[in-house]
């Protein structure tokens, strides 16, 4: 397995692979890898084929964290991550430094301005600009034919699809289902922050979403009523938002019905958890 820290070396290596006719599939991550990431790696391998190249990037992207967010404390576990990548059959890991990705006078950004307005974009101003910028940079450096993202970050996946379409990145975006703990909690690097008591509470988000889906499958509900029902099951959380949105436009809907998405962001202590479900 190759490990690249320098952008120029990574670029050169990927370019040579591409010229040799290899299909490159990229999985962007922030590291602290868990089973959710590994499922993306497996999907990437299937898409690349035995002869293709599967690349993972591990980069805690400062540009997508707000000033009062957890950039400094975000879990970092490079040695363990590299062992997991090797075991998963990753061909190349790209792990640049923040300084090499963002020059001191960096002043250019990729910004999606519609799908990123609501949900996490509302509570995390600048977050999706940071995400789009780093993903655009990774696409330019690696130039993958395909990139794989997780449905756990539903809004992120939609925003990236839109950016790729609008800016004509020659990359196919594949989105894979959310991997969960046996009790339903969506796997996340941030779950490491949870105390045992919080960890016990955390699966209630999933249960509230499943219950909402069950109710909507019986009959449609006014969206605010459904959101209230979900919130009422999240006592003990500090709810950031519960929203029922059109799965494609991410605009709020008036009536919640089959096929819509419900997205939740809620804090347990300082830990912000997100999840979503299709109704
Ligand atoms: P992160 O390292 O949290 O930035 O995530 C890297 C990629 O893994 C993103 O595309 C996420 O959507 C995806 N991902 C994170 N958690 C999960 C999960 N539980 N199941 C599937 N994909 C996930």
Q: What is the pLDDT of residue 73?
A: 95
Instruction: Say yes or no: 106 and 204 in one domain.
Output: no
Q: What is the pLDDT of residue 90?
A: 98
Instruction: Say yes or no: 158 and 264 in one domain.
Output: no
Q: What is the mean pLDDT of residues 112-119?
A: 98
Q: What is the pLDDT of residue 57?
A: 98
Is 182 a member of any domain? no
Instruction: Say yes or no: 226 and 274 in one domain.
Output: yes
Nearest Cα residue to atom 14 of ligand 1: 150
Instruction: Say yes or no: 11 and 132 in one domain.
Output: yes
Domain extent at residue 80: 2-176
Instruction: Say yes or no: 8 and 85 in one domain.
Output: yes
Instruction: Say yes or no: 23 and 62 in one domain.
Output: yes
Is 93 a member of any domain? yes
Instruction: Say yes or no: 154 and 22 in one domain.
Output: yes
CATH of the domain at 233: 3.30.1300.10
**Confidence category of residue 86, pLDDT binned at 50, 70, 90:** very high
Among 147, 176, 205, the domain boundary falls at 176
Q: What is the pLDDT of residue 188?
A: 97
The Cβ of residue 190 has, within 10 Å, a number of other Cβ atoms equal to 18
Mutating to test ligand 1, I would choose from 26, 27, 40 the residue with most ligand atoms within 8 A of its C-beta, which is 40
Share of residues in the chain with pLDDT > 90 (%):
100
Q: Is the CB of 152 under 6 A from ligand 1?
A: yes
- Going by C-alpha positions, the residue among 168, 161, 167 that lies closest to residue 247 is 161
Instruction: Say yes or no: 233 and 144 in one domain.
Output: no
Q: What is the pLDDT of residue 182?
A: 98
Among 150, 176, 202, the domain boundary falls at 176
- Is 34 one of the annotated active-site residues of the chain? no
- Give the total number of structural domains in the chain: 2
Instruction: Say yes or no: 107 and 238 in one domain.
Output: no
What are 16-49's pLDDT values in tens digits? 999 999 999 999 999 999 999 999 999 999 999 9
Q: What is the pLDDT of residue 137?
A: 98
pTM to 2 decimal places: 0.97
What are 190-217's pLDDT values in tens digits? 999 999 999 999 999 999 999 999 999 9
Average pLDDT, the chain: 98
What are 133-142's pLDDT values in tens digits? 999 999 999 9
Euclidean distance between CA atoms 257 and 241, whole angstroms: 19
Q: What is the pLDDT of residue 64?
A: 98
**Confidence category of residue 153, pLDDT binned at 50, 70, 90:** very high
CA 104 – ligand 1 centroid, Å: 29
Instruction: Say yes or no: 168 and 204 in one domain.
Output: no
Instruction: Say yes or no: 142 and 27 in one domain.
Output: yes
Q: What is the mean pLDDT of residues 256-268?
A: 97
Among 144, 176, 208, the domain boundary falls at 176
């Amino acid at each position: 397995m190759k490990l690249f820290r320098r952008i120029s070396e990574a670029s050169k290596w990927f370019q040579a692979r591409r010229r040799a006719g290899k299909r490159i599939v990229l999985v962007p991550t922030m590291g602290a890898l868990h089973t959710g990431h590994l499922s993306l790696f497996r999907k990437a391998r299937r898409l690349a084929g035995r002869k293709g190249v599967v690349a993972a990037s591990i980069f805690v992207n400062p540009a997508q964290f707000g000033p009062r967010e957890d950039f400094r404390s975000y879990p970092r576990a490079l040695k363990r991550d590299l062992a997991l990548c090797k075991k998963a059959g990753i061909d190349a890991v790209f792990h640049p430094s923040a300084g090499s990705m963002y020059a001191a006078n960096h002043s250019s950004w990729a910004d999606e301005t519609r799908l990123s307005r609501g949900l996490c974009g509302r509570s995390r101003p600048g977050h999706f600009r940071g995400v789009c910028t780093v993903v655009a940079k990774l696409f330019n450096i690696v130039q993958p034919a395909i990139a794989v993202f997780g449905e756990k970050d539903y809004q992120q996946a939609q925003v990236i699809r839109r950016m790729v379409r609008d800016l004509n990145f020659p990359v196919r975006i594949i989105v894979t289902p959310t991997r969960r703990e046996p009790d339903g909690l969506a796997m996340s690097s941030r779950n490491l922050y949870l105390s045992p008591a919080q960890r016990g509470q955390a699966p209630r988000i999933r249960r509230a979403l499943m219950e909402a889906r069950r109710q909507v499958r019986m009959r449609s509900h006014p969206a605010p009523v459904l959101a209230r029902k979900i919130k009422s099951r999240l006592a003990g959380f500090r709810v950031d938002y519960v929203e029922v949105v059109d799965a494609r436009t991410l605009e709020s809907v008036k009536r919640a019905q089959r096929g819509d998405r419900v997205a939740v962001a809620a804090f347990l202590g300082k830990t912000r958890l997100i999840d979503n479900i299709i109704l």
